[in-house]
Chains A and B, each alone.
Chain A
């Protein structure tokens, strides 16, 4: 444990609160801070639109970061993330099916089921002799994501009337977020807390699986539980905000450099940083780009980061 870790986490908590407050104040409608307390209309915008939207962004960012952190340790592979592995695509397909078939009811459930199926599929495709090499992991992720997006395209093609809605799941964003969506997103915290209980096991699993067995970790059971919890958290995040990429890749990386690899500190740090990152990304897109899907922005700075990681791994 690094001595600075608790201070970092405390700083991140403050930063998140400030960021959320700032994000609530920011917006394209040009309402001044003072008018919130005088104009009923402004208060409506604030309370019914901005506040739930910022809270949802924080929850989704937190969920994606925690799932990414868990997956990186689980796969012993710092390139893993729910978006790259195909979990997000699986969730998006599930959510789309819910829209097309059931007019949106059961969206979180189907998103979770899709995320789960995609995660385990990649896990079993990529596994060779108990190990998951980077190459096969990334390639199986790409292959599966291609298949899933073909299915999504098919759904878009056949279901013309909900085209706009389906596009949303592909790009990811926070339009039309209501308090109802915040309620849907809340179980992310339960999933993240569940994952946190396995922080010490993940520290050990990050060494290697055989060693983890020697130290008393029930490896197969732990992996199954953690994959399921990660898929659960990702599935909900996708059900709320579509597939937003790279939050789960970048935050664990940066936080590992700051607080160290101990997951007991890495999880809270990454969760807070993921929330801050997505709150700001959303605030910026809705303020300056007339509500462009936030997934476009995260992909714009996420993909170069991914390429940088790939290059530095190839050197090592």
Chain B
């Protein structure tokens, strides 16, 4: 018996289909997040669960009971909804609004009992609005008003709590405060929440439901659902997906770049290390260059970036010099590359060969790339690396600072054309 079970429902507004063949369920006591782009039907799905919108067909079951068989008051005793910030036209006090949560328990000819007052007090305490009880709902902040709506929902003593982007109008500290309250409630209450922010969803939800074009695209743990491929497919955008350093949950960051296509049919080899090349690996990849990189150590951040982007990368085990095998593969890459980029990385005995080998290709265009004016090549070889760099520069290697200038150089309208 599941607290909520959705079986193959369709919903439409007039002739317009909003949801199609949606099937899922929530486990008792979990937080289930609904995510997806605008217009994918998230809010409508929630409204179908609270019976505010009617479905065309399919079935919704609460604790094995058909949703349609429940009376209005009975439904309100099982399912509570926290809407997005609502405007309250009349000047009610916080306690008045929370007490409205008891409405489904109080008969038409009765008035609230001491027990109702007690439940309201407890709900206000849980939602952290007890000190506001006497205040007017017009005189409190948006974050406080949202907590009042949570208290009202709790006063309903529901088994299921539905949240419709209940925190998306709030700043991040209030979002976290409210979601922490919700998480503490889960266990006793089953929570189904629409999220706009994928990172909040990833952290607070036990499972996620990803909607795309009116249908369920994926369902599972945040780690299963929030993958780079799925996000790209659903949101049409490149995202970096990494484990959050403190929580271990997936953490997504948008890659704010357009695919320009400027680098089509051009090969670039990037010699980098210590994280100095990650930015341009992304940039060149996004601009459609064929990118190779190496030789790198497999603990290197740049190696992680290359793997993440799916770029061919020559790599060695940790704390290992460059082997002859890797060196010959590096030569292959260099021979087929149109341009070689060397980033402002630290150079030691372990990666000196990456530079030295460039001396064998005098005709190959070389760019020394620095992210900004503070980035420089640190020489840990006692001058050997410096000598190689001087030699390469004497042969015409360019120095370029900043990612924009690098791309401008490639597109031919920078100050140094002919990259």
Q: From known contacts A200-B106, A217-B103, infer whether A1 and B80 are also in contact, taking CB-CB under 8 Å.
A: no
Q: From known contacts A214-B76, A218-B72, infer whether A262 and B96 are also in contact, taking CB-CB under 8 Å.
A: yes
Contact B89 A217 (CB under 8 A): no
The answer to the question of A261 belonging to the interface, with a C-beta cut-off of 8 Å to chain B, is yes
Number of A-B residue pairs, CB cutoff 8 Å, is 69
Q: From known contacts A261-B90, A262-B96, infer whether A216 and B109 are also in contact, taking CB-CB under 8 Å.
A: no
Task: Fill in one digit per residue for B89-100: 1 if any A CB lies within 8 Å of its CB, else 0.
Answer: 111110011001
Q: From known contacts A215-B156, A218-B72, infer whether A206 and B77 are also in contact, taking CB-CB under 8 Å.
A: no
User: How many angstroms between the C-alpha atoms of A142 and B289 in the bound complex?
Assistant: 68
Q: From known contacts A203-B100, A210-B83, A211-B83, infer whether A216 and B76 are also in contact, taking CB-CB under 8 Å.
A: yes
The answer to the question of A183 belonging to the interface, with a C-beta cut-off of 8 Å to chain B, is no
For A208, give its contact among B86, B92, B106, B108 (CB under 8 Å). Answer: B86
Contacts of A76 in B (CB 8 A): 89
Contact A213 B92 (CB under 8 A): no
Contact A262 B92 (CB under 8 A): yes
Residue of A nearest to B152 (CB): A215
Contacts of B86 in A (CB 8 A): 207-208, 211
Contact A210 B52 (CB under 8 A): yes
Contact A217 B72 (CB under 8 A): yes
Interface range, B side? 20 to 34
For A204, give its contact among B79, B83, B93, B100 (CB under 8 Å). Answer: B100
Q: From known contacts A200-B106, A203-B96, A262-B96, infer whether A214 and B90 are also in contact, taking CB-CB under 8 Å.
A: no
Task: Fill in one digit per residue for A1-23: 1 if any B CB lies within 8 Å of its CB, else 0.
Answer: 10000000000000000000000
The answer to the question of A260 belonging to the interface, with a C-beta cut-off of 8 Å to chain B, is yes
User: How many angstroms between the C-alpha atoms of A260 and B90 in the bound complex?
Assistant: 9
For B51, give its contact among A204, A207, A213 (CB under 8 Å). Answer: A213
For A1, give its contact among B73, B79, B96, B103 (CB under 8 Å). Answer: B96
Task: Fill in one digit per residue for B110-128: 1 if any A CB lies within 8 Å of its CB, else 0.
Answer: 0100000000000000000
Task: Fill in one digit per residue for B296-338: 1 if any A CB lies within 8 Å of its CB, else 0.
Answer: 0000000000000000000000000000000000000000000
Contacts of A208 in B (CB 8 A): 86
The answer to the question of B88 belonging to the interface, with a C-beta cut-off of 8 Å to chain A, is yes
Contacts of B75 in A (CB 8 A): 216
CB distance from B112 to the nearest CB of A (A): 9
Contact A215 B52 (CB under 8 A): no
CB distance from B316 to the nearest CB of A (A): 61
The answer to the question of B101 belonging to the interface, with a C-beta cut-off of 8 Å to chain A, is yes
Contacts of B96 in A (CB 8 A): 1, 203, 261-262
The answer to the question of A101 belonging to the interface, with a C-beta cut-off of 8 Å to chain B, is no
Contact B72 A213 (CB under 8 A): yes
Contacts of B199 in A (CB 8 A): none
Interface of chain B: mostly helix, strand, loop or mixed:
mixed
Contact A197 B109 (CB under 8 A): yes
| Interface residues in A267-306 (C-beta closer than 8 Å to B) | none
Contact A216 B73 (CB under 8 A): yes
Contacts of B106 in A (CB 8 A): 200
User: How many angstroms between the C-alpha atoms of A200 and B103 in the bound complex?
Assistant: 8
CB distance from A260 to the nearest CB of B (A): 7
Contacts of A261 in B (CB 8 A): 90-92, 96
Residue of A nearest to B162 (CB): A214
Q: From known contacts A203-B96, A207-B86, infer whether A214 and B103 are also in contact, taking CB-CB under 8 Å.
A: no
The answer to the question of B81 belonging to the interface, with a C-beta cut-off of 8 Å to chain A, is yes
User: How many angstroms between the C-alpha atoms of A260 and B93 in the bound complex?
Assistant: 9
Task: Fill in one digit per residue for B30-52: 1 if any A CB lies within 8 Å of its CB, else 0.
Answer: 00000000000000000100111
Contacts of B81 in A (CB 8 A): 211, 214
Contact A216 B50 (CB under 8 A): no
Interface size counted on chain A using CB atoms at 8 A: 24
The answer to the question of B104 belonging to the interface, with a C-beta cut-off of 8 Å to chain A, is yes
Residue of A203, A204, A218 with most partner-chain B CB within 10 A: A203
Residue of A nearest to B108 (CB): A197
CB distance from A74 to the nearest CB of B (A): 12
CB distance from B67 to the nearest CB of A (A): 13
Contacts of A223 in B (CB 8 A): none
For B50, give its contact among A1, A197, A214, A217 (CB under 8 Å). Answer: A214
CB distance from A296 to the nearest CB of B (A): 32
User: How many angstroms between the C-alpha atoms of A270 and B15 in the bound complex?
Assistant: 45
Contacts of A1 in B (CB 8 A): 93, 96
Contacts of A210 in B (CB 8 A): 47, 52, 83
Contact B89 A216 (CB under 8 A): no
CB distance from A266 to the nearest CB of B (A): 9
Contact B91 A215 (CB under 8 A): no
Contacts of A214 in B (CB 8 A): 50, 52, 76, 79-81, 83
Residue of B nearest to A210 (CB): B52
Contact B83 A216 (CB under 8 A): no
Residue of A197, A207, A215 with most partner-chain B CB within 10 A: A215
For B76, give its contact among A198, A200, A203, A215 (CB under 8 Å). Answer: A215
Q: From known contacts A204-B100, A204-B103, A210-B83, infer whether A216 and B90 are also in contact, taking CB-CB under 8 Å.
A: no
Contact A215 B89 (CB under 8 A): no
Contacts of B93 in A (CB 8 A): 1, 260
CB distance from B254 to the nearest CB of A (A): 33
Q: Give 14 CB contacts A-B under 8 Å.
A: A207-B88, A207-B89, A208-B86, A210-B52, A211-B81, A214-B79, A214-B80, A214-B81, A216-B74, A216-B76, A218-B72, A260-B92, A261-B96, A262-B92
Contacts A217-B103, A260-B93 known; list 10 others, CB within 8 Å: A1-B93, A201-B103, A203-B96, A206-B90, A213-B72, A214-B52, A215-B101, A216-B72, A216-B77, A218-B72
Binding site for A on B (CB under 8 A): 47, 50-52, 72-77, 79-81, 83, 86, 88-93, 96-97, 100-101, 103-104, 106, 108-109, 111, 152, 156
Which 3 residue pairs across A and B have the least CB separation, nearest first? A216-B76, A216-B104, A261-B90
